[in-house]
Amino acid sequence: MKIGFIGYGSMGSMIIEGLLDSSVLKRDDVIISNRTLNKLDKIKKEYPEIEITNDNEYLASECQKIFIFVGTFAVKEILEDIKKHINPNTHIIHISAALTLENIEKVFEGKITKIIPSLTSTVKEGVSLIHHNKNVDEKEAEFINKVFESIGDVKIVQEEDFEVGSDLTSCAPAFIASIFQKFAETGSTQGNFTYEESEKMVIKTLYGTVKLLYEENMSFDDIISRVATKGGITEQGVKILEKELPETFDDLFKTTLKRHEEIKEELRQQYKTND
């Protein structure tokens, strides 16, 4: 069974390289297509068993499972280009959070899986959110789940939960990095540490905190209570965060969820031509 990947951009290349490195796929079963073929030279050199092409129609005719890793608004064009070369048993997998199954099914009514991976999949950590439509059978779902379990955890979700879920997983590395970047920046203005020194201390502390959470099975509350002793300095800082952060995170979710809806509406208009 040939497995095709269309698109080799930032997220696509990360996922493809992670899957090939994990050996969860037979490399000589893999075909990768990209508009600019020379962008695939490096991965072809690293994994010579794979096949590369810039012909999506050829890939579609050869592959039973097709992963589409292009920009959200380019998915429709790809589907329309390849639909004459696929059959009802072809399994389409895409990674566009705002692109609903309802829209895709206006172009292709077969087996569809929607996946939202994370940058953390690069280091085989984090969570990939997955939803299969009703046409994907149990064996096919298990295969896709196993593929993505090779680069992190998998969580099966309802489609309506993708927006909040992607904020908590896919978007979260940027949110977390932004928070701690500002923490390090502010710390460097309060004393004699350079920003680089502050950043390094914060990163090492963040890494240690994550190890406590993950490897020692401590909860957020456990860590707070262990460090923020009653009447101490840390407790005063925690009180500031408890006061200020809820409103900040409310604004964050309201803003991102609003943008999700805006993009979904743009996509509804794009796919309307198929009504």
CA distance linking residue 257 with residue 49, whole number of Å: 42
Residue extents of the structural domains in the chain: 3-157, 172-264
CB 150 within 8 Å of CB 178: no
User: How far is 204 from 209, CA to CA, in rounded Å?
Assistant: 9
Q: Is the pLDDT of residue 191 over 80?
A: yes
- What is the distance, to the nearest Å, from the Cα of residue 87 to the centroid of all Cα atoms in its chain? 27
* Strand order from edge to edge, sheet including 153-156: 51-53, 30-33, 3-6, 65-68, 91-94, 111-116, 127-132, 153-156
What dotted CATH number matches 3-157?
Answer: 3.40.50.720
Candidates 3.30.450, 1.10.3680, 1.10.3730, 1.10.10; CATH matching 172-264:
1.10.3730
Give every CB contact of residue 160 below 8 A, 6+ residues apart in sequence: none
pLDDT beyond 70 at 275? no
Rounded CA-CA distance 226/209 in Å is 12
Q: Which residue has the tokens 């959070």?
A: 97
For the segment 174-180, the average pLDDT, to the nearest whole number, is 97
Helix (H) or strand (E) holding 65: strand 65-68
Structure confidence at residue 10 as a pLDDT band (50, 70, 90): confident
Tens of pLDDT, residue by residue over 15-60, are: 999 899 988 899 999 999 999 999 999 999 999 999 999 999 999 9
Q: What does DSSP assign to residue 110?
A: S
Q: Is the pTM of this model over 0.75?
A: yes
The mean pLDDT value for 197-218 works out to: 97
